[in-house]
């Protein structure tokens, strides 16, 4: 909904066309508010039982056992492995003779 009315100063004389525009804007606003969701449409969505049920569907920490741990993630590459990879990349980037 676009508000089309003009700003009217308090105490200023208002023309009939401006008055009608203001009335139309208020009417459109009232109609728009009437189309908003009723609270009955959202009842039960965020109640504690619903939230607890949804949360129980999520993975818990016991289902993650046996997965990678931080010690696996913190291992550093061996320098010789990096040098071997760099030499292979250099060889691949070099034009074939």
Residue 6 pLDDT exceeds 70: no
Residue 15 pLDDT exceeds 70: yes
Cβ-based neighbours of 21, under 8 Å, separated by 6 or more = 4, 5, 6
User: Distance between CA 77 and CA 83 in Å, rounded?
Assistant: 10
pLDDT in tens, 55-97: 888 877 676 666 766 776 677 767 788 888 888 888 888 876 6
pLDDT value, residue 83: 85
């Amino acid at each position: 909904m676009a508000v089309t009315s003009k700003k009217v100063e308090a105490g200023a004389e208002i023309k009939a066309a401006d008055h009608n525009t203001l009335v139309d804007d208020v009417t459109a606003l009232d109609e728009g508010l009437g189309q908003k969701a009723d609270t009955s449409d959202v009842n039960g969505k965020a109640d504690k039982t619903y939230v607890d049920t949804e949360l129980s569907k999520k993975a818990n920490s016991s289902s993650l056992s046996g997965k990678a741990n931080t010690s696996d993630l913190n291992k550093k590459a061996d320098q010789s492995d990096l040098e071997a990879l760099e030499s292979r990349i250099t060889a691949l980037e070099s034009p074939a003779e």
